[in-house]
């Protein structure tokens, strides 16, 4: 077991998780505040390997669903101040058993701290892992869908006052639509607690060590800054990835549509990439990447934009005119299987491409 109880630990964790958030994954400033509030109360995050979970209860998954786009609509009155905690209490009543641990739905600067902070508040451990290995836009991108494990029963709570229990759903498309629609009704997001799992089920579904990897990634970026080394190289080295572009954002267009930030970024190359153009198709996260019209990163593989100091740029903060560095890395192996590609491959997002691994695509950049 690892205890997270220092400010430098949470800063490194949120930094690394935001990098793995691939442009999405929630607000890192919100995530940092959540964990900082926990520390100020004298509590700690207890991080355990999946094998350390008590076998006499359930592991649940708390997270937020909604668009990461800045809201332009008038906010509804807040009737439930802590929706994730309300969802957690409702879930305990539904399953009629003890919740002994939580696991993050994905790795991201905002959504990962949701799980960790509620675990600390309740005095239960959080698993060192998640159900995705990065951030992604839809409930489809969850390992339990690959394994045929239901995400119900589910509790969905909005700040505006909606409390909805999904006892069953017909398929993951309907569940995604239900949660997404409730996020739109709420004005921005809803909090969800779902996927109650036994010990054996959790051992099958959880992608392991992703939270400790996030912390190590953040620590290496900070260390590189302090030592005068290239922080972008530090990211590449930890993720065993590739630096695939350097340029200036020429165009960034986005819209808030049906509970997603949908957009496109066009980056003009500089330095070694002068005269070249990178394009990113965005659905909350960076999903599909082209250089000079040729695919270089296909989902589920990862692409992230960084500043020179290694600071990740979320798609809510991306702006025209800023200098960026593009890094690519491999997705967890489970997403590269035929069943994984069904939920997270290019064709799932409407692109007429057969998946090609990023390590093959980068050879021809």
Q: Sorting pLDDT into bands at 50, 70 and 90, what band is 72?
A: low
Give me the pLDDT at residue 188, please.
81
Give me the pLDDT at residue 125, please.
97
Whether the per-residue pLDDT at 75 is higher than 80: the answer is no
Name the percent of the chain lying above pLDDT 90: 91
What tens digit of pLDDT does each residue of 156-183 get? 999 999 999 999 999 999 999 999 999 9
Q: Which two tokens stand for residue 355?
A: 């998946």
- Average confidence (pLDDT) over 303-327: 98
Tokens 């505040």 identify what position? Answer: 33
- Average confidence (pLDDT) over 275-293: 98
Whether the per-residue pLDDT at 349 is higher than 70: the answer is yes
What tens digit of pLDDT does each residue of 46-58 get? 999 999 999 999 9
H-type alpha helices, the chain: 7-20, 28-40, 83-95, 111-122, 143-147, 172-186, 199-205, 210-226, 231-239, 338-344, 358-361
Give me the pLDDT at residue 68, please.
78
User: Which residues contact residue 232 at a Cβ distance below 8 angstroms, ignoring those fewer than 6 apart?
Assistant: 243, 306, 308, 310, 325, 327
| Region of 187 on the Ramachandran plot (φ > 0 left; ψ -120 to 50 alpha; else beta) | left
- Average confidence (pLDDT) over 99-106: 96
The full set of domain ranges for the chain reads 2-210, 230-364
What tens digit of pLDDT does each residue of 179-227 get? 999 999 998 889 999 999 999 999 999 999 999 999 999 999 999 999 9
Give me the pLDDT at residue 29, please.
97
Give me the pLDDT at residue 67, please.
77
**Would you identify the CATH topology of the domain 2-210?**
CV3147-like fold (3.40.1610)
Average pLDDT, the chain: 95
- Minimal CA–CA distance to 17: which of 124, 130, 109, 119? 109
> Are 160 and 77 contacting, i.e. CB atoms less than 8 angstroms apart?
yes
CA distance 16 to 224: 13
What tens digit of pLDDT does each residue of 237-271 get? 999 999 999 999 999 999 998 889 999 999 999 99
Cis, bond preceding 84 (omega within 30 deg of 0)? no
Give me the pLDDT at residue 258, please.
83
Give me the pLDDT at residue 73, please.
64
Give me the pLDDT at residue 71, please.
64
Q: Which two tokens stand for residue 312?
A: 């990740």
- Minimal CA–CA distance to 115: which of 191, 183, 176, 57? 191
Give me the pLDDT at residue 232, please.
98
Give me the pLDDT at residue 70, please.
74
CA distance 29 to 37: 12
CA distance 103 to 143: 12
Whether the per-residue pLDDT at 40 is higher than 80: the answer is yes
Q: Sorting pLDDT into bands at 50, 70 and 90, what band is 74?
A: low
Whether the per-residue pLDDT at 319 is higher than 80: the answer is yes
Whether the per-residue pLDDT at 97 is higher than 80: the answer is yes
């Amino acid at each position: 077991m690892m205890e997270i109880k220092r400010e430098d630990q949470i800063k490194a964790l949120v930094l690394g998780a935001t990098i793995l958030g691939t442009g999405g994954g929630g607000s890192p400033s919100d995530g940092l505040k959540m964990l900082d509030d926990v520390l100020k109360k004298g509590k700690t995050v207890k991080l355990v390997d999946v094998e350390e979970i008590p076998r006499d209860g359930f592991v649940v998954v708390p997270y937020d669903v909604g668009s990461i786009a800045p809201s332009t609509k008038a906010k509804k009155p807040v009737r439930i101040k802590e929706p994730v905690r309300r969802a957690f209490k409702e879930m305990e009543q539904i399953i009629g058993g003890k919740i002994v641990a939580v696991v993050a739905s994905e790795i991201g600067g905002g959504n990962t701290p949701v799980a960790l902070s509620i675990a600390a508040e309740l005095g239960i451990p959080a698993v060192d892992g998640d159900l995705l290995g990065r951030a992604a836009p839809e409930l489809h991108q969850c390992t339990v869908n690959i394994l045929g494990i239901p995400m119900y029963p589910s509790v969905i709570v909005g700040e505006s006052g909606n409390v909805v229990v999904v006892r069953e759903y017909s398929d993951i498309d309907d569940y995604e639509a239900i949660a997404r629609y409730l996020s739109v009704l709420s004005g921005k997001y809803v909090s969800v607690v779902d996927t109650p799992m036994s010990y054996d089920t959790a051992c099958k579904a959880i992608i392991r060590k992703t939270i400790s990897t996030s912390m190590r990634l953040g620590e290496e970026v900070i260390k590189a800054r302090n030592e005068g080394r290239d922080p972008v190289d530090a990211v590449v080295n930890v993720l065993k990835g590739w630096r695939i572009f350097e340029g200036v954002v020429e165009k960034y267009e986005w819209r808030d549509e049906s509970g997603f930030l949908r957009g496109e970024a066009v980056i003009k190359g500089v330095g070694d990439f002068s005269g070249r153009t990178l394009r990113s198709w965005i659905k909350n996260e960076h999903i599909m990447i082209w250089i000079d019209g040729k695919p270089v990163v296909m989902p589920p593989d990862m692409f992230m934009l960084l500043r020179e100091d290694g600071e990740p740029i979320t798609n809510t903060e991306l702006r025209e005119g800023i200098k960026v560095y593009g890094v690519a890395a491999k997705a967890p192996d489970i997403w590269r299987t035929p069943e994984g590609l069904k939920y997270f491959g290019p064709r799932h997002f409407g692109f007429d491409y057969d998946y090609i691994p990023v390590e093959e695509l980068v050879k021809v950049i």
